[in-house]
Structure 1
């Protein structure tokens, strides 16, 4: 059996408008996400479609962010292990929630990592860098924990190159 690591967070509901949950419309969905040792709280709510505050993070966004963040960290590991020097990484990730009656579930996520390699790399390095997203996905703890497909649409650039290399 592998090593186990524990994680603890606290959620504090801040949406009581004076009458609690007397009716569906009487309460706010606002809450705070906290953890011991963290410098910053996360202001959360539900999606605006569910009477939440659009300026706050909702749980669905946090799941997609966790997938994206985990892939980033796994990718940087495999890139470094394979001698590739990543100088920038950005991901514009998306996900889809499907409502089912009063409930619902996330049904897919798409990560769109855009990686720039240091200028000394070749087009062959860029092809290899693109392929390494598959290995990063295999290593990602969060992707291994969800029950919906997580796809990748990576783009790899070389610093100073005019156009992305063709793969």
Structure 2
């Protein structure tokens, strides 16, 4: 199959907005060219200007679903002009009583190009297939809902 490596770096320092605790900011490098500053969510004393792990998980799922949907559309001969999503991940208490991302809602908006466009039932089946075949969806236990399709 394949491997997917990242480089994560954190250095100890006081928080810039709460000196009684440590700075949660760190960098994640995906390659020599792509680096993201990550922190914990603001509710957990993180930097609100940074991505947090829960947002990264939500974006990974939404991105994987989109890429799988695009592949399915291409195989079926449909051309897509644009795909947008306003996904939301919900950090809630799980069955164990501990916080976890329990569900992720996808809100895709797709503009099909060309003369042949799928009907609503076909789009719904394509989303179901994208979910079933999405690597990230198959790797997490959070419930995934595709809304407004």
TM-score grouping bracket, smaller chain normalisation: 0.7 to 0.9
Which residue in 1 is equivalent to 2:49? 55
1:130–1:154 Cα contact (<8 Å) kept: no
- The aligned length equals 144
Aligned position for 2:119 = 126
Shift of 1:11: 1.1
The TM-score, its normalising length taken from structure 2, stands at: 0.87
Residues 79, 114 of structure 2: 8 Å contact kept: no
Which stretches in structure 1 are left out of the alignment for 5+ residues? Answer: 19-23, 156-167
Aligned partner of 1:65 among 56, 59, 70: 59
5+ residue gaps in structure 2? none
TM-score (norm 1): 0.78
Higher gyration radius (CA): 1
2:6 to 5, 9, 15: 9
Q: Shift of the alpha carbon at 1:103? A: 4.7
Distance 1:40 1:63 in 2: 17
Q: Deviations over 1:116-141 (max 9, x none)?
A: 1115134xx23223320111111100
4+ long deviations beyond 4 Å? 99-103
- Given that residues 14 and 32 in structure 1 are in contact (C-alpha distance below 8 angstroms), is that contact kept between their aligned partners in structure 2? no
Contact 1:117/1:126 (8 A) holds in 2: no
In the TM superposition, residue 60 of structure 1 has moved relative to its aligned partner by 0.2
Is the contact between residue 133 and residue 154 of structure 1 (CA under 8 Å) also seen in structure 2? no
Q: 1:44 to 1:15 in 2, by over 3 A?
A: farther
Structure 2 distance, partners of 1:96, 1:16, is 29
